[in-house]
Structure 1
Amino acid sequence: MKTLMVFDFDHTVVDDNSDTWVISCLPGQTLPDSVENSYRKGHWTEFMGRVMKYIGDQDISPDRVRSVMETIPFTAGMKDLLAFISEHKSTIDCIVISDSNTLFIDWILQASGLQAAVDQVFSNPAKVNELGYMEVHGYHSHDCDKCPVNMCKRKVLELYLSERSDGGVKYERLFYVGDGGNDLCPSFCLRGHDVVMPRKGFTLEKLLARLEGQKDDASVKAKVIAWSSATEILEELKASM
């Protein structure tokens, strides 16, 4: 029986938003209003596609973007937590489910030397195309009305757990670590002995607090433990082993 660690990425693994961090590669570190004002609620990935095109139009190379992405800070204690997970791969599986994109996440993890901690990354697929431009596409389509159009993290997690179960892997405990509103939906598929860990002061913590005392069908069954440093997550993980 193994433990599964599930991480969001932005403001969870890293202490900022990787999608907005990329803007620091631009002259003046700002987007023109025509791009900045094109965002529509729930359609962030489409917006990021326009940001990536604009970056390419400025003749900023993917290598330059990568060097900027590699400077994003990790959340306090997170590198120690990921190093611990790397050393215990026989008993701990670890995945990232993020509404960022695969290119940024892979670059950041590789630069940290900690990519061995993470078994799989589920995020919006991104690549450098034949013109040398970065491009990004939505992860999947779904029918969940609580989530952004391009990703329902609950569906991603449920499919992963189903496939692992079919392969004979059962998880004794699951830790879900996140911060944002889109981390609430996957929290509903956790069991009573699982743990959802919202970052203190962020949206997920507030949403979970509002659900306390709700009827069974509207409640999160998992134990809720808020964190401000990944050292606290590591302590909970060690205590469960």
Structure 2
Amino acid sequence: MTAPSRQDHAAPQQPRFLVLFDFDETIINESSDDAVVRALPGQRLPDWLRNSYREGHYNEHMQKVLVYMAEQGVSEDSIHSAMEKIPPTPGLVNLFHYLQGYQQDFELAVVSDANTYFIETWLECAGVRHLFTKIFTNPASFDATGRLVLLPYHSHSCPCCPDNMCKQVILRDYLTGRQKERGGAPFQRVFYIGDGANDICPSLALGPRDTAFPRTDFPMHRLLLEMSQAAKSKANIVPWVSGEDIVDSLKKIMEER
């Protein structure tokens, strides 16, 4: 009987890099909250409901929207179908294929102000749910009456973010927790891929070896450009139009090993 090799006892390789994805208009090419409204008989919200939105209280507004949809008889099947039909953002499927080929190097997570039902449904239908270690988003599930019930993700004290979610708090807590689980080893680099104004706060927690990928000409891009000019952002900023642009950047980083 041969002695076991050192390789047999080697601990599994820890991913070197963390990739965080927003969902709406980043992984998918529109807002899932807009897409679900198309499941309504008239495919639009009444003016009184649209006009009830208060700045910084979007989660609360979507709770009202889902109550209204249930009152209009919209079924779980209709909502599921609406999610399935949302197209991916150009090149994102190719980005997922690339990352799947390097799962030993990249750990993936979603950080989104959408909700668990929309995100889980879309990722499962796209065949990429298995790539993500964690999904940070607002809880949502169907109750006994068939209504999709939405809750806030957490409470926080950040003055810059919606009352139900600060993505920087989520990012910092996750990095701290994962470093402990990894025996004190931090990720070598963190990549944040997003599009919206609420993706700015987590981007400001990134360091000089990290990269913020803002979608070109979306709010995150415009705001980060202003902040980089004012030297408020430490991270590298790499705008993208297609997921292929992100693949190209990651390939260059992988060649640096």
Measured against the shorter chain, the TM-score band is over 0.9
What runs of 5+ residues in structure 1 fail to find an aligned partner?
A: none
Residues 13-32 of structure 1 mapped to structure 2, 5 A cutoff:
13-32=27-46
Q: Which residue of 1 aligns with 2:209?
A: 193
1:135 equivalent among 149, 160, 163: 149
Deviations along 1:89-130, one digit per CA (max 9) or x if unpaired, are: 211100010011111000000000111121111001100111
Q: Which residue of 1 aligns with 2:68?
A: 54
- Is the partner of 2:18 in helix, strand or coil? strand
Partners in 2 of 1:99 and 1:173 — Cα distance? 24
Query: Are 2:158 and 1:144 aligned?
Result: yes
Q: Which residue of 2 aligns with 1:212?
A: 228
Deviations along 1:108-161, one digit per CA (max 9) or x if unpaired, are: 000001111211110011001111100111100000000000000000000000
Shift of residue 42 of structure 1?
0.6
Query: Are 2:57 and 1:80 aligned?
Result: no
For residue 135 of structure 2, what is the amino acid of its counterpart?
V
For residue 222 of structure 2, what is the amino acid of its counterpart?
K
Q: Which residue of 2 aligns with 1:226?
A: 239
For residue 253 of structure 2, what is the amino acid of its counterpart?
S
Partners in 2 of 1:33 and 1:210 — Cα distance? 35
Query: Are 2:44 and 1:34 aligned?
Result: no
1:178 equivalent among 191, 194, 200: 194
- Is the partner of 2:168 in helix, strand or coil? helix
2:133 equivalent among 119, 128, 142: 119
Partners in 2 of 1:27 and 1:129 — Cα distance? 21
Partners in 2 of 1:179 and 1:199 — Cα distance? 5
Shift of residue 213 of structure 1?
3.4
Shift of residue 212 of structure 1?
2.5
- Is the partner of 2:165 in helix, strand or coil? coil
Partners in 2 of 1:41 and 1:98 — Cα distance? 18
Shift of residue 172 of structure 1?
0.9
Shift of residue 34 of structure 1?
2.5
Larger radius of gyration: 2
For residue 136 of structure 1, what is the amino acid of its counterpart?
L
Partners in 1 of 2:219 and 2:196 — Cα distance? 5
Partners in 1 of 2:251 and 2:129 — Cα distance? 21
Across the aligned residues of Structure 1 and Structure 2, the Cα RMSD in angstroms comes to 1.1
Query: Are 2:248 and 1:235 aligned?
Result: yes
2:85 equivalent among 71, 75, 80: 71
Aligned residues: 238
Identity of aligned residues (%): 39
